Amino acid sequence: MTKGRRTAPILRDVLRTDPRLAATVVAMRLAAAVLTPLDAVALGLLVDAGLRGDVRAAVGWAALLALADVGSSAFNHPAGKLEMTLREKTNFAFERRLLRVSTAPHTLDHLERPEFHDRIEQARDRASALGDVLVRAIALLQAAVLMGVVLFALASVHWVLVALVAAAVPAIYLGGRGEVVRVRGDERAAPSLRLADRLFGLAANAGPAKEIKVNRAEGFVRDRFGAASRRAYRAVDAAEGRALAFTVAGWLAFSVIFVLAMAFVVREAVGGRATPGQVLLVLALAIRLTEQVDEFSGAMSGVRRALLDVRRLRWLYDVGDTTPAVPAPRTPAASGPAAGDIELRDVSFRYPGTGADILRGVSLRLPVGATVALVGENGTGKTTLVKLLCGLYPPTGGAITVGGTDLRALGQERWTAALSASFQDFVRFELLVREAVGVGRLDRMDDDAHVWDALDRAGARPLVEGLPHRLRTQLGPQWPDGVDLSLGQWQRLALARAMMRPYPSLLVLDEPSASLDTAAEHALYERFSRASHFGAATSAITLLVSHRFSTVRMADLIVLLRDGHVAEVGSHDELIQLGGVYAELFELQARGYR
């Protein structure tokens, strides 16, 4: 796809934000552009008529002067108010597009790339600039029309004065060059600004702030914030200095021509070749032209910056195309339900931008109807393996099949429709309870009976029944009438969200009891134990990830990961009899409860 075609959808979104409002603003700005320089023309003609003693003509030119002055203000002021609305609407359209681009890829590879986050940060920081694209373009059109009227009026006095308008070209061009320098400075500053923003968020939010306070790390955070800010603004200041040099050079060139033009018209007046009114007209138009050169240069810079931002957003469109992935095998497109044994064949994986494999040569079969527990110490690759099974990353080596069909050939959309998951780093959706749970299956979000059923299977009904408005309770203390929850309560809702799909081919429970107390954890696993029999009857695969070996004894199959590969596989009794790593780790944890 060519650059123009990739850019076109973004610009089309901007242009289609509110066509009627945009047309109204354009009409008002063009009317003001014609009226604004007419006051200078009317003033010059008024002076000449007065010197001739032509009262009737003087009154007419005075009326035109008043009409031009009042009319330009009457159009410009309301147009400015409408432009604010247009800018806000365009900003919202851009945010929607940016959000769509960020969430469009089926995998998470792009979210692991620092350059992606830098560009997202830059794009969001410049959202207002892109929101200005229509307003700037309208200002550019207005300035061009006004300069055209000024050019015609100056030429009517003497053709040499056209040089005043020509002198605006260097100022506009060099101003644009300066804007490019500023944008590149912003790009160099983006990583440091992102770090400063994250550090500020740590100190300004109650959750992480408590740990900072306990560790007396306030000074450390402030110092790191200051260092990141200084690095960012060194890059910005250097770019600003170069941009200022370009701008000053352009205005110096214009100023020289301006002085020469004034000297020329004064000489013409002294020699009797120009009237006092013409001198006044040229002076007023020259001043007006100076204002318009500034407006035109600013509008050009704004449009240019906005187009550079569009190029940044175009890069985000290309994320899906540039994300490295192992090509899908040439197999017929899958059809029918996404179900069957899940098999990993010599799977390896490394995160984008890293040089080491997190998983190496993993071969494993998860039989239908089984409850499989995935265990191992921190950093052994459990969470990574879960992400691969969920199709969030393609393996960098080997293959994953479902019922004999390669997962990539199956298609991410079909596979995500067939699975359900609750992750350890679950999301706290600050929505109504019904919505926070119903996100797990959007087509049943408004079905209260279905939501209650999911809450029952997650053991979260008593929690919701105790809330002031039950399913219609607003979550989050920052909202009116919002209710805050403990970490364990938030996790119960996350589990209920995973239960919104009652018959998934794969149910992933990643540390589902990490934030629960002992009694709640025991009740939860009793419930999962009963549910595993249901899973066997419905050919569902339940994958349970846990650090707590004592809670996975009910699993049909236990898989121990160590150093990125499968070290041991079997039932609890089989692995205990084996006397290997699992038995050793189980004994170590068991001692803590004796």
Q: In angstroms, what CA-CA distances link 56 with 38, 53, 126, 360, 370?
A: 19, 9, 55, 96, 101
Confidence of residue 327 (pLDDT cuts 50, 70, 90): very low
pLDDT at 367: 86
Query: Quick check: 66 pLDDT over 90?
Result: no
**pLDDT digit string, tens, across residues 215-266:** 667 777 788 888 888 888 888 888 888 888 888 888 787 778 777 777 777 7
**Domain 426-503 in the same topology as domain 338-418+506-594:** yes
Q: Are 412 and 331 in contact (CB under 8 A)?
A: no
* Gap between the Cα atoms of 49 and 32, Å rounded: 26
**pLDDT value at position 586?**
75
Residue length, the chain?
594
Residue 188 to residues 191, 197, 244: CA-CA distances in angstroms?
7, 16, 18
User: 557-562 and 371-375 as β-strands: parallel, antiparallel, unpaired?
Assistant: parallel
- Residue 46's CB is within 10 A of a number of other CB atoms, namely 22
| pLDDT band of 128, cuts 50, 70, 90 | low
Q: What is the dihedral sign for C-alpha 324, 326, 331, 333? A: negative
Q: Flag whether pLDDT at 522 surpasses 90.
A: no
Question: Which pLDDT score, from 0 to 100, does residue 311 have?
Answer: 63
Question: pLDDT band at residue 325, thresholds of 50, 70 and 90?
Answer: very low
Model confidence, pTM = 0.58
Confidence of residue 73 (pLDDT cuts 50, 70, 90): confident
Domain ranges of the chain: 3-322, 338-418+506-594, 426-503
Q: Percent of the chain having pLDDT more than 90? A: 2
Determine what percent of the chain is predicted with pLDDT higher than 70: 75
Class of domain 3-322: mainly alpha
Decide if pLDDT at 532 tops 80.
Answer: no
The CATH number that domain 426-503 falls under is 3.40.50.300
Q: What SS3 state is found at 117? A: helix
Residue 189 has pLDDT above 90, yes or no: no
Q: Using 50, 70 and 90 to split pLDDT, how confident is the model at 338?
A: low
Beta bridge partners of 344: 364, 400
Question: If you average pLDDT over residues 44-66, what whole number do you get?
Answer: 81
Q: Could you report the per-residue pLDDT of 1-26, keeping only the tens digit for each?
A: 445 455 565 566 666 777 888 888 88
Mean local confidence (pLDDT), 302-321: 59
Confidence of residue 131 (pLDDT cuts 50, 70, 90): low
CA angle 201, 206, 211 (to 5 degrees): 90
Q: Domain 338-418+506-594's class?
A: alpha beta
